[in-house]
Amino acid sequence: METVHFLSYRCPGDKDAFEEAAESLLNQKNKNWEWTLIPEGVLKNTSELFRKKLISHPNVNFVTELDFAEKFDFSKNWAYVFFDTNFKLDSDFVDQIEIHHKAFQFDLLYSDVGILGNGKLQNKIWRRPKRDLERLSNSDYLFGALVVTQKNIDQLSKDCKKNMWLVEQHATFAIIAGNRNVHHVFEPLISASKEYLFEKTNNVDHDRLEIAANSSSVQGKGVVRALGPTGNWALRRMAKEKKTISIVIPTRGDKKRIWGIETDLIENVIKSLFEKTSTEEFEVVVVHDVNDAYIEHASSLAQYGDRVKLVPFEKSFNFSEKCNIGVLNSSAEFLVFLNDDIEVIDSWWLDHLVGYLESKTVGAVGPVLLLDNGLVQSAGHINQPLPANYYSRKQFGLKSFPEALDVPCEVSGLTAACLAVRRKIFHEVGGFCEDLPNNFNDVDFCMKIQETGRSIIWTPLAKLYHFETTTRDTMVTEEETEFIRDRWGRTFGVDLHRSRID
C-alpha cells in the first residue's frame, strides 16, 4: 500500500499532549506514512531532544500556512488523515486504515475514541454517532483523526485546497451530502483526555461550520443562526415559504392542574397555539371522545371558526386510531401530531419544524419537550435497551458530554406528543398502527419512516411544555412489548444515533 499522509493544523499549546500525539505517530508499526504540520508555535515549548528528533525525522514536514496554500500537492498519496494533535493514535492506526479500506473501500473513515485519564487509557469509550448531516452541520464530531481518500479531495476546487480545515470540512460535507461511503469503525483507534473532548464538543467553531454548511448548499437558504440551549450557536432551519399545516390533537377532554390552576387541557393547548405561534397558516383538528366535555368544547371552540374542527370519536381509547381519523379529516400538506397537555414556548416552533420537512431526506421531526419544572420530558427516543424518552427528567441547557442536547440531530424515534410529518409520508407508511392503542405507536411509526430511507430529526431549537400525561395509559403491557419486538427488535439494544460514554 502507498503512503498515508497526516495533516495537522490544530497543534495545541499543550506541549505534553502534542509530544504524546507526535510519539504515537512516530511509533506506528507501519512506517508507510508522512506528516505535514503547521506547528503554530507549539514546537518551541517542547524539549530540545524531542524537537531535534521531530525536525530530523525524514517523514515529518513543517510548513507555514502560506507554504501549504501555495505548494501542497494532494495528488501524491492515497489517503489523508486530518490529525488533531490532542489525540494519541493506536500503534497500528496506519495498518487499521489499510485493512478497513481493503474491506470496505471507504471514502471517509472515523473511529470511536478511547478516553484518557491521568495520561492512561480508561476503560471508557466515546461511541461516536453515525454519520448525521444535521448533527454534522452543527457539531464537529468527526474530529481527531479523520481519514479521507485522495479521490474525494481531488474533486474539491482549488480554493478549498488552500487551507487544511477547509479541505477537511468541504471533503466531509461533500462525501456525506453525496451519500458516499462513510465508514465508522466501532473501536477506538484514537484516544484523548475527557477534558479535551468536553471542551471540544462544547465549543464548536460555528463560524467555520456556518461557512461550510452554506457553501456546500447542504442546508439551503432557510438557515438562521440561533443560540442553542447551552449557549452555543447553532443553525436553525426555517420554512422558506408559507405552508399549510394541520395540527391533529386526540383528546378525552380532560382537565388537569397546570401552574397551580385546574385547566381544561384542550382549551389551553388551542389558546396557546393561537396566541403564541408566529405562523397563522394552520388548522387544528381535535379528535374528541363523545362525552359531556365534548358538548362543552363544541361550543367553547366555536370561537375559532373554521380553523378548529371537532371530530367525534365514539369507541374506546385508541391513540393511533384517533390520530389516523384526525388526519383523514384534515387537508394540509404538513401534519403535526400534538397531545392535549402541551403548551407552546417558542413562537417559531411550527416554522422551524416544517423547515426540516422541506428536505426530502427528512421523514419526521420533533422538538424538545419540557415538564412544567423545566426538566426534559423528551429529547427524542433512545432504543437502548427498549425505546424510551432520551434524557427524560434531566436538566435542560446544561453543558453535557457528548453534546447530547446541543444541536439538532438524527434520532431513532420521536414521541408523538409532538411530531411533524409530511402527509405523503404518513400515507406511505400506513399511518399509526392501530394494534398499538397506547404505547410504542410512535416508535413503530418512526421505524416505518426510517424503513423508507428517510431520517428522523430531533431539534432542541424549538421548545414546548408537555405536562405529561393524561391522554393515555402509561403502563406498558407485555403484549405491546412483544408486538414492538416482533417488528423491530433487531434495532433495539444499541442506539447508533445517540453516543454515550456511560
Partner 1 sequence: MTEAEEQTEQVAQLVLRISLLERQVLQAKDQIIGDYAHIAELSHRLTITQVNNEKLREEIKRVHSSTAWRLGRLILSPVRLLKLFNKI
Nearer to partner 1, 467 or 488 (CB): 488
Q: In whole angstroms, what is the distance from residue 54 CA to residue 50 CA?
A: 6
Of 125-133, 271-279, 460-468, 488-496, the window that binds partner 1 (rule: CB under 8 A) is: 488-496
Q: Are 50 and 17 in contact (CB under 8 A)?
A: no
286 binds partner 1 (CB under 8 A): no
431 binds partner 1 (CB under 8 A): yes
From start to end of 76-193, where are the E strands? Answer: 79-83, 88-89, 108-117, 120-126, 145-149, 182-193
Tell me the closest approach of the beta carbon of residue 335 to partner 1, in angstroms: 13
9 binds partner 1 (CB under 8 A): no
Out of 434, 469, 470, 501, the residue judged to bind partner 1 by CB under 8 A: 434
Report angle CA 200, 204, 205 to the nearest 5 degrees.
125
Of 21-29, 61-69, 394-402, 432-440, the window that binds partner 1 (rule: CB under 8 A) is: 432-440
285 binds partner 1 (CB under 8 A): no
Q: In whole angstroms, what is the distance from residue 497 CA to residue 134 CA?
A: 12
296-325 residues in contact with partner 1 (CB under 8 A) are 324-325
67 binds partner 1 (CB under 8 A): no
> Nearest CA to 278 among 327, 309, 252, 245?
245
Q: In whole angstroms, what is the distance from residue 470 CA to residue 459 CA?
A: 24
> Nearest CA to 486 among 455, 440, 446, 419?
440
Out of 234, 408, 488, 498, the residue judged to bind partner 1 by CB under 8 A: 488
Three-state SS at 204: coil
Q: Where are the alpha helices (DSSP H) in 27-119?
A: 48-56, 65-71, 93-104
Nearer to partner 1, 132 or 444 (CB): 444
Q: Up-side HSE of residue 279: CA atoms within 13 Å toward CB?
A: 21
Quick note: the x/- pattern for partner 1 over 325-364, rule CB under 8 A, is: x--xx-----------------------------------
Q: In whole angstroms, what is the distance from residue 127 CA to residue 499 CA?
A: 5
433 binds partner 1 (CB under 8 A): yes
436-455 residues in contact with partner 1 (CB under 8 A) are 444, 447-448, 451
The dihedrals phi and psi of 435, each to the nearest 5 degrees, come to: -75, -10
Nearer to partner 1, 109 or 419 (CB): 419
Tell me the closest approach of the beta carbon of residue 444 to partner 1, in angstroms: 8
Tell me the closest approach of the beta carbon of residue 121 to partner 1, in angstroms: 30
427 binds partner 1 (CB under 8 A): yes
Q: Considering CB under 8 A, how many residues would be counted as binding partner 1?
A: 23
466-485 residues in contact with partner 1 (CB under 8 A) are 485
Q: In whole angstroms, what is the distance from residue 289 CA to residue 287 CA?
A: 7
Nearer to partner 1, 185 or 433 (CB): 433
Nearer to partner 1, 15 or 423 (CB): 423
Three-state SS at 176: helix
Query: For residue 455, what are the CA distances in angstroms to 48, 234, 362, 499?
Result: 52, 20, 5, 17
Nearer to partner 1, 431 or 460 (CB): 431
Tell me the closest approach of the beta carbon of residue 427 to partner 1, in angstroms: 7
227 binds partner 1 (CB under 8 A): no
Binding residues for partner 1 (CB under 8 A): 324-325, 328-329, 427-435, 444, 447-448, 451, 485-490
